[in-house]
């Protein structure tokens, strides 16, 4: 493989990433139906027609952005938890998960928040493809909560799945477009930890 081959390979990959970033931003701002390829192309410094070379269709791009969004959020969440030293307190682990989730959600690249903004208005065929990714993400949170319960920092008087859904819903709802309205990160973390802790 010559150096020029490497260069051209990475060029396509770089453009693809630029498009995904621009798409995430537009989708986060305007949702699935409100986002336009024109604006996405502009933000990616490309002409609309050129998008087709990387993503054949708007829905292809959406699917890629969704996968990119949840997967990166899941990896960030898992990494945040994994980074907690073994000898840390169980509460630290829980706090790390919450922080990891919030960080992904409020990251400036919008990859995760694009997902939150799009999921509920997706056409069925896209949603079907997306469910698997979402499920893997939910699994990570479930594991975190289960471990927390074993370690005695998560209450055991409620169904864990329902708890997980409410926690994730509450966290996702902080991903508001107007950061002014967003409650302070620290307050959210402490409040959630309090709600979760057993009586």
Partner DNA sequence: TATGAATGAGGATTCATTCAT
Partner DNA sequence: AATGAATGAATCCTCATTCAT
Residue numbers at the binding site for DNA (CB under 7 A) = 4, 7-9, 11-12, 15, 35-39, 46-54, 56-59
Q: DSSP of 15-35, one letter per residue?
A: HHHHHHHHHHHHHHHHHHHH-
5-13, 70-78, 92-100, 189-197 -> range binding its own copies (CB under 8 A):
189-197
Show the CA angle centred on residue 183, arms to residues 165 and 112, nearest 5°: 50
163 contacts: CB under 8 Å, gap ≥ 6 = 145, 154, 196
# of chain residues touching its own copies (CB under 8 A):
44
- Please state, in angstroms and rounded to a whole number, the distance separating the CA atoms of residues 141 and 157: 18
Most distant CA pair in the chain, distance: 64
Please measure the distance between the N-terminal and C-terminal CA atoms of the chain and give it in whole angstroms. 62
Whichever of 16 and 106 has its CB closer to DNA, that residue is 16
Whichever of 7 and 124 has its CB closer to DNA, that residue is 7
108 binds its own copies (CB under 8 A): no
Where b means 16+ CB within 10 Å and e means fewer, 145-154 reads: bebbbeeebb
Q: Minimum CB separation from DNA for residue 35, in Å?
A: 6
Q: Minimum CB separation from its own copies for residue 75, in Å?
A: 22
**Taking CB under 8 A as the criterion, which residues in 19-58 touch its own copies?**
29-35
169 binds its own copies (CB under 8 A): yes
Binding mask 122-161 for its own copies (x = CB under 8 A): -----x---------------------------x-xxx-x
């Amino acid at each position: 493989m010559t150096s020029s081959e490497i260069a051209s390979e990475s060029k396509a990959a770089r453009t693809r990433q630029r498009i995904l970033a621009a798409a995430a931003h537009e989708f986060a701002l305007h949702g699935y139906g409100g986002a336009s390829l024109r604006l996405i192309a502009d933000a990616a410094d490309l002409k609309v027609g050129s998008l087709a070379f990387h993503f054949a269709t708007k829905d292809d791009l959406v699917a890629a952005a969704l996968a990119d969004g949840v997967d990166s959020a899941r990896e960030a969440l898992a990494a945040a938890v994994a980074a907690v030293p073994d000898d840390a307190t169980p509460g630290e682990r829980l706090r790390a998960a919450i922080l990891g989730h919030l960080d992904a959600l409020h990251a400036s690249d919008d990859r995760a928040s694009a997902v939150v903004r799009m999921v509920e208005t997706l056409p069925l065929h896209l949603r079907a493809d997306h469910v698997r990714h979402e499920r893997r993400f939910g699994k990570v949170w479930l594991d975190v909560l289960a471990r927390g319960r074993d370690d005695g920092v998560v209450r055991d008087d409620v169904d864990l799945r329902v708890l997980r859904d409410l926690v994730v819903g509450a966290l996702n709802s902080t991903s508001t477009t107007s950061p002014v309205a967003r409650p302070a990160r620290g307050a959210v973390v402490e409040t959630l930890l309090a709600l979760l802790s057993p009586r």
